[in-house]
């Protein structure tokens, strides 16, 4: 969800103002995904690299996360949305950890839409964690060396059991993966826009999906 800070700068506002408007955009897009009956929406909320940002901005982002859950949890539950986070929550402030775990617990039975939130997430860290867990299993004799394949490896990722993404949308003119779902995005279709996330609308999402429908997905083979 790129471009919150730059959006705020163009309007002479503090960066956190952009993040606040970006949270409203997320609400709109989640509602649109429900209308479209999509199965899963994954949003990159905070990366392992975002800790490099100023402490005040990080603090404000964590406060916004807590505020968002407090304000939206009841509606998320009513709309059948399941919350799941991927990443290392242990480094987040305790109040944020508790709020996130509460949201996951209270929505775990919902089935209309999986809202997967990447929090303190990094694709390389995810892969390394999977490798370390698998090597422990091999050392314990629960997995035979030389038998590890794509399917088994995927079971040790944070996204185990979740379908790989069909479409990845990158806003604000960014043209790179930025350590997001590196393993899972091997054959994902990309859609780029210069629009900052706070200005991203349901119409932009419709356009992205419309364009996706005309892609030929061959997965390395021939159509």
Dump pLDDT digits (tens) for 1-24: 999 999 999 999 999 999 999 999
Picking from 28, 30, 7, the residue whose alpha carbon sits closest to that of residue 17 is: 7
Q: 144 lies in a domain?
A: no
Residue 130 pLDDT class (50, 70, 90 cuts) = very high
Query: Can you give the pLDDT at residue 37?
Result: 97
* 100 pLDDT more than 90: yes
Mean per-residue pLDDT of the chain? 96
Q: Which residue's structure tokens are 């960066």?
A: 15
| Residue 66, in any domain of the structure | yes
- How many Å apart are CA 127 and CA 114, to the nearest integer? 22
Q: Interior CA angle at 124 toward 190 and 30, to 5°? A: 45
CATH number, residue 100: 3.40.1180.10
Is the residue at 148 inside a domain?
no
Distance of CA 95 to the CA centre of its chain: 21
How distant is the alpha carbon of residue 23 from its chain centre? 13
Query: Does a structural domain hold residue 34?
Result: yes
pLDDT, mean of residues 111-134: 98
pLDDT at 217: 87
Nearby residues of 171 by Cβ (< 8 Å), 6 or more positions away = 1, 2, 3, 193, 195, 196, 197, 200
CA-wise closest residue to 121 among 177, 66, 72: 177
- Active-site annotation, residues: 2, 50
CB atoms within 10 A of CB 38: 17
Confidence of residue 207 (pLDDT cuts 50, 70, 90): very high
Domain presence at residue 223: no
Would the pLDDT of 223 be above 90?
Answer: no
Residue 98: pLDDT above 90?
yes
- Domain membership flag for residue 40: yes
Read off the pLDDT of residues 51-93 as tens digits, 9 standing for 90 and up: 999 999 999 999 999 999 999 999 999 999 999 999 999 999 9
Which of the four pLDDT bands, split at 50, 70 and 90, describes residue 150? Answer: very high
Residue at 171 is within a domain: no
Which backbone phi and psi does 41 adopt, to 5 degrees? -125, 120
- 222 pLDDT above the threshold of 90: no
CB atoms within 10 A of CB 69: 17
How many domains does one find in the chain? 1
Domain annotation covers residue 30: yes
- Would you state the structure tokens that stand for residue 176, as one six-digit string? 């790179």
Q: What tokens were used for 82? A: 């399941």
């Amino acid at each position: 969800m790129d471009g919150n800070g730059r959006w705020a700068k163009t309007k002479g506002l503090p960066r956190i103002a952009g993040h606040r408007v970006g949270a409203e955009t997320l609400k709109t897009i989640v509602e649109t995904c429900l209308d479209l009956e999509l199965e899963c929406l994954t949003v990159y909320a905070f990366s392992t690299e975002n800790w490099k940002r100023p402490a005040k901005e990080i603090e404000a982002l964590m406060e916004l996360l807590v505020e968002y859950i407090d304000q939206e949890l009841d509606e998320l539950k009513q709309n059948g949305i399941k919350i799941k986070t991927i990443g290392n929550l242990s480094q987040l402030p305790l109040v944020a950890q508790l709020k996130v775990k509460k949201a996951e617990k209270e929505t775990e039975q919902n089935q209309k839409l999986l809202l997967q939130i990447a929090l303190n997430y990094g694709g390389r860290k995810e892969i390394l964690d999977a490798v370390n867990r698998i090597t422990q299993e091999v050392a314990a004799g629960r997995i035979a060396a030389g038998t590890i394949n794509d399917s088994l490896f995927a079971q040790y990722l944070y996204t185990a059991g979740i379908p790989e993404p069909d479409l990845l949308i990158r806003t604000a003119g960014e043209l790179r993966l930025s350590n997001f779902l590196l393993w899972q995005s091997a054959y994902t279709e990309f859609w780029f826009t210069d629009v900052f996330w706070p200005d991203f609308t349901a119409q932009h999402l419709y356009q992205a999906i419309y364009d996706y429908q005309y892609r030929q997905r061959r997965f390395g083979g021939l159509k």
